[in-house]
Structure 1
């Protein structure tokens, strides 16, 4: 007696849709990337924005020298790991188009809180490292591309 492929095909297709979110949830490097660099709807984008976000994201113990927040959807950022990005150097990808970003630079002084930051906002292409199709590192050394 032959079994129809219908039920097996349905399980396979459902598995395809359930797998990517599970991979993202189980990837601590991707979660860390989002914590450090993702802010879809920024408010302000000035020095106070940087100081508030850096504190909220626990990036001030010690004071992080430079951190960039990307203001776009997670899907658009992830797409740089695929069809919306190009190889760049060794194991990096550069976005084909610019993203809206805010870069927060530590003003200097003590590396201990309270940390003071200077904000610069604009648009630029981002350079990221990817793991299993997810961004896991933003290369802060490539700022003006």
Structure 2
């Protein structure tokens, strides 16, 4: 009788180990911070007002952040840079194979000592990110290819790439 009641309990315990790592990874604090700072699925406008509004909504304006890039699209495409849609890049980073629609917001001035005002620039660029447990946790920069080339760096060199928007 005692062993029958332990069976379902043991099953729940084992399933907990199988499900928990995936669930914990989705709720990883660094991944959530990355999404807050750099992800906007369906932007509207993508102009200076967009930047002013997004930087305020995401809490990136206290103090005023000098530069921030928002990546547009779906989360799975961005996560895929940590796997099949990315290649190793310098310093344990990953560079996307495909380009993403991005909006970069640059601080232009602080108005009345409290409002951060931004200038928006829109583009399609490859992104460079850091990943942990298959999830993006840090946006390093976006880059453009100066010529058509294989997306993977050759011989450890990426001389055909022009770094833009380094963000710390």
TM-score range for the pair, normalised by the shorter chain length:
0.7 to 0.9
What is the aligned length?
136
Report which of the two has the higher share of strand: 2
Which of these two proteins has the greater Rg computed from alpha carbons?
Answer: 2
> Which segments of 5 or more consecutive residues in structure 2 lack a partner in the other structure?
1-7, 146-168
- 2:56 counterpart residue number: 55
Q: 1:17 deviation in Å?
A: 6.0
SS in 2 for 1:107: strand
Distance across 2 between alignment mates of 1:45 and 1:12? 47
Distance across 2 between alignment mates of 1:49 and 1:116? 11
- 2:23 counterpart residue number: 21
Following TM superposition, where does structure 1 have runs of at least 4 consecutive aligned residues deviating by more than 3 angstroms?
11-19, 142-145
Confirm whether residue 30 of structure 1 aligns to residue 70 of structure 2.
no
Residue by residue over 1:10-50, the C-alpha shift from the partner in whole angstroms, topping out at 9 and shown as x without a partner, is x978965664233121x111110000000000010000000
Equivalences for residues 61-100 of structure 1 within 5 A = 61-100=62-101
SS in 1 for 2:101: strand
SS in 2 for 1:125: strand
Q: 1:139 deviation in Å?
A: 0.6
Residue by residue over 1:108-138, the C-alpha shift from the partner in whole angstroms, topping out at 9 and shown as x without a partner, is 457x530000000010000000011000000
Residue by residue over 1:31-83, the C-alpha shift from the partner in whole angstroms, topping out at 9 and shown as x without a partner, is 10000000000010000000000000000011101100000111110000001
Equivalences for residues 107-122 of structure 1 within 5 A = 107-109=108-110, 113-122=114-123
Query: What TM-score comes out, normalization by structure 1 length?
Result: 0.83
Distance across 2 between alignment mates of 1:94 and 1:131? 14
- 1:135 counterpart residue number: 136
Query: What TM-score comes out, normalization by structure 2 length?
Result: 0.72
